[in-house]
Amino acid sequence: MPATYLDNILAFHRQRVAADTRDWKTRSFVQRPRRSFREALLEHRSSGLSVIAEVKRRSPSKGWLNENLDAGELATKYEKGGAVAISVLTDENFFSGSMDDLNSVRSVSVLPILRKDFTLSANDVVDAVEMGASCVLLIVAALTPDELHSLLDVAKGLRIDALVEVHTADEASTALDAGASIIGVNQRDLHSFAVDASRAQAVVASLNNDVLAVAESGFATPDAAEQAASAGFDAILVGEAFVRSDNAQDLVQAFGGFRIGSRAS
């Protein structure tokens, strides 16, 4: 199997983790007030599809999406448009994100924040808590089953939610076995970068209704968002379409609220 962009990113972040000598168990930090990511999605279920709007400057595959965006200003538009949560890229080397972007969002918005980064260690989870994030991202393709289980336990102990990202039904099974309660299904293929909504819909059909399901990547139109809702997704995570838009507030509103259909299972 050819290497993916994820392989190169993970090699960098594995080196970063190996050089991190902090003992996460003895770290002292202030618990910043934050809303529950999971509860926000649950509460919105009866109102239809939730929108998780993302602050994203660039991507490894497409380059700059919005080099000069103001994270705080964008977050304000997202909240006014009805976003239920905000995702913030904090990876600097590959996505040009930063902790400053997350701090800017937190300073202007009361919405729960997903720290979108490559979470590979317990210190990464503690860092997210210290930043005031409500949720961390755990990518099944980036972790061993034991690492996934361990990081979910750490997150639970620190009272921060975890969005567990999968690409296939097998990865979804791994996520469920580890105890994931929020599963994000990435519609983008790691090798070809092609978006395959039908594959993602097949994955969500295998999830029971106790699991919150989030569709990720490739949402360019409200019609695509409606299709995800019909397939049984509780929420969609959208970045590129919003950060490129001249009217992010109205676009967020147009993507949300669709009736959530039942899952095949």
Question: 26-30, 149-153, 240-244: which has the minimum mean pLDDT?
Answer: 26-30
Alpha-carbon gap, residue 187 to 197, rounded angstroms:
6
Task: Give the CATH number of the domain where residue 149 resides.
Answer: 3.20.20.70
Amino acid at 67: E
Give me the residues paired with residue 241 across strands. Answer: none
Q: Are 263 and 45 in contact (CB under 8 A)?
A: no
Residue 134 lies in a domain: yes
Report H helices in 19-57: 37-44
Alpha-carbon gap, residue 259 to 46, rounded angstroms:
9
Residue 160 lies in a domain: yes
Question: How much helix, strand and coil, in percent to the nearest 5, is found in the chain?
Answer: 45, 15, 40
Range of the domain at 201: 35-255
Burial of 212 (0-12, 13-18, 19+ CB in 10 A): buried
Encode pLDDT of 49-108 as tens digits. 999 999 999 987 788 989 899 999 999 999 999 999 999 999 999 999 999 999 999 999
E strand residue ranges, 196-258: 212-216, 235-238
Residue 176 lies in a domain: yes
Alpha-carbon gap, residue 162 to 125, rounded angstroms:
9
Residue 11 lies in a domain: no
Encode pLDDT of 152-207 as tens digits. 999 999 999 999 999 999 999 999 999 999 999 999 877 666 788 999 999 999 99
Asked whether residue 265 carries a pLDDT value surpassing 60, the answer given is no
Alpha-carbon gap, residue 247 to 84, rounded angstroms:
18
Residue 12 lies in a domain: no
Residue 5 lies in a domain: no
For the chain, how many structural domains are there in total?
1
Residue 237 lies in a domain: yes
Question: 26-35, 80-89, 135-144, 156-165: which has the minimum mean pLDDT?
Answer: 26-35
